[in-house]
Chain A
Amino acid sequence: MSYLQTLEDQSIYIFREAFANFKNMAMPWSMGKDSNTLIWLAKKAFAGKIPFPLVHIDTTYEFPEMLSFREWARKYYDIDLIVIINEEARKRGVGYETHDPVTVTHELKSVALQQSLAKYKWDALVTGIRRDEDSTRAKERYFSPRTADNEWEYRDQPPEFWGQFTTAVKPGEHVRVQPLLDWTELDVWEYIRREGIPVPKMYFAQNGRRYRSLGCWPITKSVESRVDTIEGIIEELKSTKTAERAGRAQDYHERNAMQKLRAKGFL
């Protein structure tokens, strides 16, 4: 059996375990390659019908191409999509024009997510994070509990072995369910190629530049590339040593920025 097949089967197992154990789950969906891979895996796990809502946290700094993709995918996959915006923070004037990226990301993503957790009372959130993305994510569990304050107690994580996960939560707490934890960036692209999963066009070069990772437009830089096929992306990845999120400014603004963001609830 191929290794990609092993990864797919494991992700499906995780999806089904989550759905069987939690009463009210949702899946944040950023429209990126990992997010679209997750949709694909969920379709397979649940025989074509995703039985929980998807959530897009709209920072209001989304690329227009991505919003266009969002509306396209809503119809294409027949998904129940909830769009949330931290209107309160925007009214206070929180934005990249005036605030540093860590603050903006925290307010417009993490706080927005926390607001909707309070509103919808989700007990599990499916995320697309992978261990290879950065060193804090490498320490994650497949089922990773978050406190009522949406915090990650990374110092004291529950054990997890033999396909047995943490499925009990107290009121107000939730569990992050992470089916892609064992995948690498290369695995994701290989799988997208194997399955023919539709992805945003922004990943492919236009005028000599493309996006390797997609976030808010003021802090997401394109990289120099002529790659306009999946095969090209895979080849490029095999030869590069530049970190995937190198184009994401908030990770680099200060030392341990990612750690701080994630402890406070960032995906």
Chain B
Amino acid sequence: MSGISMPPAPKPVPPGYEPAFFPKRMGGASAGAAGEPRTRIVVVGHVDHGKSTLIGRLLADTDSLPEGKLAAVEKACREEGMPLEYAFLLDALLEEQAQNITIDTTRIEFRHQGRAFQIIDAPGHREFIKNMVTGAAAADEAILLIDAKEGLKEQTRRHGLLLSLLGVGRVIVAVNKMDLVGWQEARFRELEKEIREYLGGLKIPPREVIPISAREGSQVKNPDPKNLGWFRGPTLLAALLAGSPGGGSGGDAQGPLRFVVQDVYRFDDRRVIAGRIESGTLRPGDSLVFFPDRKSSRVKAIEAWGQPEGVKELGPGRAAAVTLEEQIFVERGHVGSHEEHPPVESREVRARIFWLDPEPLRLQAPVQLRLATQNVEARLVAIDRVVDAEKLEQKSGAREEVGRFEVAEVRIRCRRPLVYDAHDRVESLGRFALQQGPRLGGGGIILTAEYPARLARAVTGEHLTWTEGRVSQEARASHFGHEGAVIWLTGLSGSGKSTLAVALESLLFRRGIASMILDGDNLRHGLCADLGFSLEDRAENIRRAGEVAKLMAESGLVVISSLISPLRKERQAVRSACQASGVNFSEIFINAPLGECEKRDPRGLYRKARAGEIKGFTGIDSPYEEPESPDLVLRTDREKVDVSVAQLLQHVLGLVSLKEEDRESAEGPGGQI
């Protein structure tokens, strides 16, 4: 190993050296600092139809290569004793040069007549369709290449089909290698007719179909009157220039507001809801409803670092950091909307999907559905049809699975309500990715959304019964998507236990978490009808309630117990019983001072106790022992109900969520700040 010829070592900095240069801040609207939109172009087509050569040609003809790059490739080609190969300009990786195929998506910038373009080179090999999907999903425009000699091949059609799913609206078809068919107009017209019919059937008719020869440089930048004199249309570059500059967010500023929550950050006393506007416009003072919980609050401010005055308006594509007037429970995955144009909330979607994973997507098998920042466990419940790329018709026979590289129309059912839009209404809320392992396995677009029918009523949970297996506690937890637990609310009469229990039960249920309230009064009408109010009977009442709660939690439910349960010893006994059976137990102290409870006196019981009509009433003439180390304390005298409910919900979600879902709770990442 030999070193290099070393330059002289740099001198130490002089004392008082100021290392930073502060540019004068231009501000966002300043001319010249806006950047310019690049039109992102994906080049697709069957393998060996000339994609890399075309890209090399575009770069060379627009004089867009870095100095030395063309020279380096010329030299390399000379050394190998071959003519200049434009494709080599792209094939930066060793094995690509060896095999002469492009193996992954590459992006290259070029400029032409003042416009900036970015080429996304997507490989044509069947195995690399995932790279083609990656490239095409990011594109504003597609160039579909067809070899004039070979004509439409399997990947030509499949790429066309995928373009229609991926939302690439603009397509130009280039019929390449015209030199190899003697520049014949008849051959070109034949292919033009065929491809126009095919893409028309997919509802993505091409903007132009152009005969070219990338190798010869015909009709790419310059027309070729000698060989292609019969063609009246534009050159490929002229056609690209005729398209409007891309680079937009895709969302519609006038469309319905969709504010997708990425995270909730806590700073000092502030709670910042961080997310992105996918559609519509957000302004301070807006009244927002967050789905799927349908909690609403006004926007207090839209924050921006370094801008204490905040932001007055945000449109589609913009990152948002929002503070709310009311402290409602919001978490990653929620979607904020204006009341008048809400999204759809449902457990079932009809979609057209594409599948990339070698492992097929089977009916009834669990799969993660990722839509915006939602991540929901789902399963295919029906495969309505599998689309044949060749004929765009249904493949024969009933199907049990969607195989690799197939496109299918399916119905998917989710464990929890999914918030979405129809793909043609709000694009980014109408498409999703599917994931079976650590990688994305496929994706799809939502075909229909029943807005009016779904909006009027809250989504009610359908009971889900698709997991089989041993009925261990783990199996139950996996089945329900959450663990069972006993949530033991304790506090004085009138402290707010029942109110919180009812709210919690409903919120949990809406999340697909099976929950049930165990109410002290109700127990006394049945199971404990034989018990009075002596100290012994009250202790027995608590014991029975604890046993029932434990059994229900073992069966997989989240049991919310709402009993005064005044004595530490008795509450401890329930905790011990639960822990012995491996059941989650959480003691929640609903803390409101006696004076406050007495003032509320919702059922007039305190008044009766004071009047001596009720004996042994907790807090009046019977002791209440406050918990020494409760798992959570809620000060219902100081906090609004919504705030207490939000805290309670967070706590319970943290307790019952399965491990891989831990990070979806609001106490997850945001809580660390």
Give chain A's interface residues, CB within 8 Å of chain B.
1-10, 12-13, 16-17, 19-21, 23, 43-49, 51, 63-66, 68-69, 72-73, 76, 95-101, 103, 131-132, 134-136, 138-139, 141, 145, 154-155, 157-164, 166, 168-170, 182, 184, 187, 190-201, 203-204, 217-219, 229-230, 241-243, 249, 256, 259
Contacts and interface: CB of A to CB of B under 8 A. Distances in A.
A164 B318 contact: no
B27 interface: yes
Contact of A68 (B4, B19, B433): B19
Given A9-B317, A168-B438, A65 B19 contact: yes
A160 to B, nearest CB: 5
Contacts of B462: none
A3 B321 CA distance: 20
A251 B443 CA distance: 38
Interface in B1-51: 1-4, 6-7, 9-13, 17-28, 30, 32-38
B35 A3 contact: yes
Interface string B246-286: 01110000000000001101010000101110000000000
The B interface is mostly helix, strand or loop, or mixed, namely: loop
Contacts of B65: 241
A136 B28 contact: no
B203 interface: no
Nearest to B315: A1
A20 B104 CA distance: 28
Nearest to B332: A20
27 contacts: A1-B315, A3-B37, A5-B35, A16-B319, A17-B373, A20-B668, A44-B306, A49-B265, A63-B10, A64-B13, A66-B19, A68-B13, A72-B18, A97-B6, A99-B1, A99-B3, A138-B107, A139-B92, A155-B95, A158-B130, A162-B428, A168-B439, A190-B33, A190-B34, A201-B18, A218-B7, A243-B67
A192 B1 contact: no
B104 A139 contact: yes
B66 to A, nearest CB: 5
B36 A135 contact: no
Interface size class of B (residues with CB under 8 A): 35 or more
Given A76-B20, A139-B105, A259-B93, A97 B3 contact: yes
Nearest to A131: B107
A64 B11 contact: yes
Interface string B292-320: 00000000000111100000000101110
Closest 7 CB pairs of A and B: A196-B25, A135-B92, A161-B137, A2-B34, A4-B35, A3-B35, A168-B438
Nearest to B167: A162
A189 to B, nearest CB: 9
Contacts of A66: 19
Contacts of A64: 10-13
Nearest to B137: A161
Contacts of A65: 10, 13, 17, 19
Contacts of B104: 139, 154-155, 157
B438 A169 contact: yes
B315 A159 contact: no
Given A4-B35, A158-B439, A200 B21 contact: yes
A96 B23 contact: no
B42 to A, nearest CB: 12
B134 A138 contact: no
Contacts of A48: 267, 305-306
B20 A69 contact: yes
A6 B249 contact: yes
A228 to B, nearest CB: 9
B92 to A, nearest CB: 3
Interface in B481-513: none
A100 B4 contact: yes
Contacts of A193: 23, 26, 33
B431 interface: yes
A162 B428 CA distance: 8
Contact of B373 (A1, A20, A132, A138): A20
Contact of A43 (B28, B35, B305, B443): B305
B305 A44 contact: yes
A105 B249 CA distance: 39
Nearest to B368: A168
A159 B263 CA distance: 24
B253 to A, nearest CB: 9
Nearest to A25: B669
A138 B13 CA distance: 37
B10 A217 contact: yes
A138 B106 contact: yes
B94 A16 contact: no
A7 B319 CA distance: 11
B209 interface: no
Contacts of A13: 262, 276, 319
Nearest to A217: B10
A166 B440 CA distance: 7
Contacts of A197: 23
Nearest to A101: B4
A196 B275 CA distance: 25
A73 B3 contact: no
A29 B147 CA distance: 47
B27 A159 contact: no
A96 B321 CA distance: 47
Interface string B585-598: 00000000000000
A47 B303 CA distance: 8
Nearest to A145: B438
A136 to B, nearest CB: 6
Contacts of A155: 95, 103-104
A49 B4 contact: no
A190 B10 CA distance: 30
Interface in B640-655: none
Given A1-B317, A217-B9, 13 more contacts: A5-B28, A5-B318, A19-B263, A20-B332, A47-B267, A48-B306, A135-B93, A200-B19, A201-B20, A217-B10, A241-B66, A259-B92, A259-B94
Nearest to A72: B19
Contacts of A68: 13, 17, 19
Contact of B20 (A199, A243, A259): A199
A121 to B, nearest CB: 16
Nearest to B316: A1
Interface centre among B92, B103, B319, B428, by most chain A C-beta atoms within 10 angstroms, is B319
B247 A161 contact: no
B109 interface: yes
B539 interface: no
Contact of A138 (B19, B21, B92, B438): B92
Contacts of B134: 141, 157, 159-161
Contacts of A159: 130-131, 133-134, 356, 439-440
A81 to B, nearest CB: 15
A9 B319 contact: yes
B540 to A, nearest CB: 46
B81 interface: no
B94 A157 contact: no
Contact of B33 (A4, A136, A199, A243): A4
Residue from B9, B65, B305, B668 having most chain A Cβ neighbours under 10 A: B305
Nearest to A250: B4
Contacts of B130: 158-159
Contacts of B305: 43-44, 47-48
A51 B7 CA distance: 40
A100 B3 contact: yes
B21 A218 contact: no
B304 A44 contact: yes
B82 interface: no
